[in-house]
Amino acid sequence: MRGEIEAGVSPGRPLLLRLFGALKSTLRLAADVALPQLCAACREPVDGAGLCPKCWSKLAFIAPPYCERLGTPFPFDDGPGRLSLEAIAEPPAYARARAAVRYDDTAKTLVHALKYGDRLDLAPTMGRWMANAGRELLATADAIVPVPLHWRRQWARRFNQSALLSEVIGRASGRPVAHGALKRVKATPQQVGLGKSERAENVQGAFRVPAEGKAAVAGRRLVLVDDVLTSGATVDACTRALLRGGAAAVDVLAFARVVMGGRIPI
């Protein structure tokens, strides 16, 4: 105890820590200048952007024709306003969903690099693709709402990837981002490895519009932003919370979406 107090007030220690911190950031800066950026997927050097041309060409961008409701691509064009069987059988709580790319290995690498690998430099590119994919939704939106993390997870990760992407989308579309509109009130386990009904159960009651978020939600048309759309359980729970909070409409915009017809690949 005595030793701890002495170490805490020792005049030399904080200075040393400060010097060490300064040295570390100088080294990091030097490394940034000296080393080329690496492709987020294959780690080959690239100039500027996050992906090398080869990995870029492997990304599966989602384009029409797709289900008007879920945004899942159709193999052929059968005229506008078509709905998928899935949208008819199990309509989601949200009105429409759109995503920039299909969730495959390349998309997964990008999402993981942003989320866990501290490749925050990927956010502007990914966000711009999302703004492009969600142009129709954003045109009529009053605000963008990021899917929130529980405060403990955000504290551990230091940032919320959905909030970062929302900022880019907000700048690209001229729509405001309502950061405090939705709160994660339950620390839910990761959805990885869970089936569809377990995922829905896992996030039930996990989101709420806090008192200070009501003004940003009531009567507004919102676009909810997440990195990956898998079973849709998380965005469905968020949508229901926003609708209970008085939202006029909720659409969903994701970076990548799982296209069914296979198993959930995460």
Closest contact distance (angstroms) between CB of 229 and Zn ion is 24
* Integer Cα distance of 121 and 113 in angstroms: 10
Closest contact distance (angstroms) between CB of 35 and Zn ion is 16
Long-range contacts of 42-47 (CB under 8 A, 24+ apart): none
Residue 59, interface with Zn ion (CB under 5 A)? Answer: no
Residue 182 bridge partners (DSSP): none
Binder among 41, 122, 143, 172 for Zn ion (CB under 5 A):
41
Residue 39, interface with Zn ion (CB under 5 A)? Answer: yes
Binder among 1, 32, 45, 55 for Zn ion (CB under 5 A):
55
Residue 113, interface with Zn ion (CB under 5 A)? Answer: no
Nearer to Zn ion by Cβ, of 40 and 233: the residue is: 40
Residue 52, interface with Zn ion (CB under 5 A)? Answer: yes
Closest contact distance (angstroms) between CB of 129 and Zn ion is 16
Binder among 11, 21, 28, 42 for Zn ion (CB under 5 A):
42
Residue 137, interface with Zn ion (CB under 5 A)? Answer: no
The phi and psi torsions of 73 (rounded to 5 degrees) equal -65, 145
Nearer to Zn ion by Cβ, of 106 and 188: the residue is: 106
Give the contacts of 261 (CB within 8 A, at least 6 positions apart): none
The DSSP code for 174 is: T
Residue 107, interface with Zn ion (CB under 5 A)? Answer: no
Residue 110, interface with Zn ion (CB under 5 A)? Answer: no
Tokens representing residue 154 in the block: 């955000």
Query: Coil, strand or helix: which one is 158?
Result: coil
Closest contact distance (angstroms) between CB of 37 and Zn ion is 11
Residue 123, interface with Zn ion (CB under 5 A)? Answer: no
* Integer Cα distance of 231 and 169 in angstroms: 23
The DSSP code for 222 is: E
* Integer Cα distance of 265 and 40 in angstroms: 19
* Integer Cα distance of 117 and 121 in angstroms: 11
Residues touching Zn ion, count (CB under 5 A) = 5
The footprint of Zn ion (CB under 5 A) covers: 39, 41-42, 52, 55
